[in-house]
Amino acid sequence: MHFAELFLIGVGLSMDAFAVSICKGLSVHALKPKHALLAGLYFGGFQFLMPVIGWLLGYRFEAMIQSVDHWIAFGLLSLIGGNMIKESFDSEDELSDDFGVKTMALLAVATSIDALAVGVTFAFLEVKILPAAGLIGVTTFLLSAAGICIGHVFGMRYKAKAERLGGAILILMGLKILLEHLGYIHF
């Protein structure tokens, strides 16, 4: 996988964390640099860790399902992307200014479950996991930290659009993987 493809996957995966960061930024009355740093560390850290765990699981079972790995990658990325788009239409947004360990860890796990599934697909595609997970983690760190600031300034206006964009990116990447493996496109 090329850097640009991994970067797009990183952006797509970070959209949930970005949207949550916007909400957290909206809830903060007095924005401090530590708010952006905490969001970046939690969300970026978990977005790094989850693909690694998924990759380890996928690598273990790679030989059994290698003949259908491109279908699995397409299915997982499409499912994750479609779910992100669906969730972008939900209007249930809870705003909390709590940046405690329990709250942030739960939010980080919730927003990085999809990265676990992507890690599984990375094993099937023989992606070097540490650089890929590092890029996803750094991308998420930066977008989450920015999301806190954007949320504080602009509020909820862009949350749904960010989730829809992230979902669309993941679906398109899944489709690209499928079409490449089926021989319809070559990059």
Q: Report the percent of the chain where pLDDT is more than 70.
A: 88
Question: Maximum CA pair distance of the chain?
Answer: 54
Residues 68, 14: Cα–Cα separation, whole Å = 27
How many CB atoms are located within 10 Å of the residue 30 CB? Answer: 7
At 71 the pLDDT is 84
Residues 169-186: pLDDT tens digits? 768 877 887 888 888 987
pLDDT tier at 155 (50, 70, 90 boundaries)? low
How many CB atoms are located within 10 Å of the residue 2 CB? Answer: 8
52, 138 contact by CB (below 8 A): no
Section 126-149 average pLDDT: 96
Six-digit token string for 54? 């998924």
Q: Which residue has the higher pLDDT, 174 or 101?
A: 101
Residues 1-56: pLDDT tens digits? 789 999 999 998 898 889 888 878 877 878 899 999 999 999 999 999 999 999 99
